[in-house]
Amino acid sequence: MSFPANPFKPTAGVMPPVLIGRSLICEDFSEGLDDGPGAPDRLMLISGPRGSGKTVMLIELRKLAEQRHWFVIDETASSGLCDRLIAQIAPDHGIFAGTTIKPSLMGASLGEVSIAPALRPSTLRDAMNARLKTLGKGKGLLITIDEIQDADDTDITAIATAAQHMFRENANVAFAFAGLPQVISDLLNAKVVTFLRRASLKKLGDVPLDDVRESFAHTIRSRGITIDDTALEEATQATEGYPYMIQLVGYHMWRAARRRKTNASNEITAEDVQTGIIQARARLGEGVCAPVIDKLPERAVDYLKAMAKDNGPSRTQTIAKRMNATMDYANQYRVKLIEEKIINAPERGTVDFTIPYLREYLRIRE
């Protein structure tokens, strides 16, 4: 038997073979759809660091809605978000059957709509209502927006205002937004969009190692490949439950086994796992950490390297000493790195990394 195709997907936004540890969120969302207008899980905010699975979570929510024959619009935030939404939601490219037709929208086609900011909330509502009229009874409209941290404030306000009205009118709609944790919490604290505080907040963290082990075992053994329990355990531990790393380790140990010319037995050995882990770590650094580090001034990188000497949070005093700098001097970089959301201050006088594996990556580069 030849070695089967690699089932692991270490690529941003691509569905993994098993969506580990997210079944509760799926259940909540499904119930929200089934319970009808007013259900709290019809407004979901998904927050999580890079590589935690926000995009694939939105894809999964989309599937759940489509199974119920809902109409789904997926968007990624960037300038012009609200106008793009309107253009896609409005049936017949902006010509609203049965509702007031906004002259500004007549004959507009996708990507060409530009609406005065003050008119956006009402136009978005009109578009949603017009779309709902075209859908069969009981069928609703789901809007998912990814990378919400890149949205303009005016767009967020317009969308939240429109959503609020739709909910108030008991319309058959649902919204799911995903973004980086800091931005989601800023959003919840912002005065303009108090409505969003009602959202059901789902924080995507690391998944339990027991689930990782089980899914590795299933994904591998169900394809006729053997792996012994020790090797399985090694692979599981190396992921630390970080979703992107799960796919990287899975992918690279599979590849190592397939490429071993002597592998007549279709087995992933402990050695393949070792090779896989090393390659996975290198990839993680390239994919997630390098783009962040390469943009920083040299002394900011020195600050991070000084932090990487610790196994947990670092004291700011210690960092300054390691940099041979005064506290004031080191502090400039601390402020910059916090602004860039690369580090945070878990307590007064301490700093820690916010990007998974950045510490390990910096150590390798030393």
Ligand X SMILES: Nc1ncnc2c1ncn2[C@@H]1O[C@H](COP(=O)(O)OP(=O)(O)OP(=O)(O)O)[C@@H](O)[C@H]1O
Kindly list the residues in this chain that would bind Mg ion in the complex (CB under 5 A). Answer: 54-55
Q: Please report whether residue 46 would count as binding ligand X according to CB under 6 A.
A: no
Residue closer to ligand X, measured from CB, 10 or 276: 10
The residue within the footprint of ligand X, chosen from 72, 108, 193, 246 (CB under 6 A), is: 246
Number of H helices, E strands in the chain: 15, 10
CA-wise closest residue to 260 among 274, 249, 247, 248: 274
Are 172 and 129 in contact by the 8 Å Cβ rule? The answer is no
The interface mask with ligand X, positions 1-20, x = CB under 6 A, is --------xxxxxx-x--xx
Residue closer to ligand X, measured from CB, 247 or 275: 247
Query: Measured at the alpha carbon of residue 306, what is the angle toward residues 365 and 149, in degrees to the nearest 5?
Result: 80
Residue closer to ligand X, measured from CB, 22 or 120: 22
Residue closer to ligand X, measured from CB, 20 or 231: 20
Q: Please report whether residue 250 would count as binding ligand X according to CB under 6 A.
A: no
Size of interface with ligand X, in residues (CB under 6 A) = 24
The interface mask with ligand X, positions 180-209, x = CB under 6 A, is ---------------------------x--
Residue 55 Cβ, how far from ligand X at the closest point, in Å? 3
Give every CB contact of residue 260 below 8 A, 6+ residues apart in sequence: 272
The residue within the footprint of ligand X, chosen from 32, 51, 276, 285 (CB under 6 A), is: 51
Residue closer to ligand X, measured from CB, 129 or 239: 239
d(CA 148, CA 335): 24
d(CA 337, CA 351): 10
CA-wise closest residue to 177 among 10, 15, 186: 186
Residue closer to ligand X, measured from CB, 243 or 276: 243
Are 18 and 215 in contact by the 8 Å Cβ rule? The answer is yes
Residue 142 Cβ, how far from ligand X at the closest point, in Å? 18
CA-wise closest residue to 43 among 131, 212, 138, 168: 168
Q: Please report whether residue 53 would count as binding ligand X according to CB under 6 A.
A: yes
Residue 140: contacted member of Mg ion, ligand X, none (CB under 5 to 8 Å, by partner type): none
Buried b (16+ CB within 10 A) or exposed e, 238-257: bbebbbbbbbbbbbbbbbbb
Footprint on this chain of ligand X (rule: CB under 6 A): 9-14, 16, 19-22, 48, 50-56, 207, 243-244, 246-247
